[in-house]
Amino acid sequence: NAGVTQTPKFQVLKTGQSMTLQCAQDMNHNSMYWYRQDPGMGLRLIYYSASEGTTDKGEVPNGYNVSRLNKREFSLRLESAAPSQTSVYFCASRENIAYEQYFGPGTRLTVT
């Protein structure tokens, strides 16, 4: 039981490049989330998916797209990376009843 896994762990992009962050969970959770963490600002919600086939914007969705590929996988795509997207990105999934969220190990992304 791996919990929530994310790839890659580290990534450096040049401005304008694109990339997809992958996330998978093996706990049969319905809801999945993408957050970004910046110094002094806590974790802010980018997008979430309440169930397979649905996605909704969070607090800071601009510049990102998501895909809920199936119940296990939820990917985050940066179409044209900007230096303001330099951050640590976390994926999480939520228990169906108890509301606790379980987090992946995070991806440190640097955009130069």
Partner 1 sequence: AQTVTQSQPEMSVQEAETVTLSCTYDTSESDYYLFWYKQPPSRQMILVIRQEAYKQQNATENRFSVNFQKAAKSFSLKISDSQLGDAAMYFCAYYGGATNKLIFGTGTLLAVQP
- Which range of residues in 21-29, 34-42, 60-68, 71-79 is near partner 1 by CB under 8 A? 34-42
Site for partner 1, residues 7 to 26, rule: CB under 8 A: none
- Binds partner 1 by CB under 8 A, chosen from 2, 10, 40, 97: 40
Cβ-based neighbours of 25, under 8 Å, separated by 6 or more: 3, 4, 5, 32, 72, 91, 93, 102
Q: Which residues, listed in sequence order, are joined to residue 63 by a DSSP beta bridge? A: none
Structure-token pair, residue 40: 């002094």
Give yes or no for residue 92 binding partner 1 (CB under 8 A): yes
Structure-token pair, residue 32: 């999945």
At residue 5's C-alpha, the angle toward residues 31 and 49, to 5°, is 20
Name which of 64 and 90 has its Cβ closer to partner 1. 90
- Binds partner 1 by CB under 8 A, chosen from 17, 52, 58, 71: 58
> Would you say 68 and 56 are in contact if contact means Cβ atoms under 8 Å apart?
no
Kindly list the residues in this chain that would bind partner 1 in the complex (CB under 8 A): 31, 33, 40-45, 48, 50, 58, 88, 90, 92, 94, 98-103, 105-106, 108
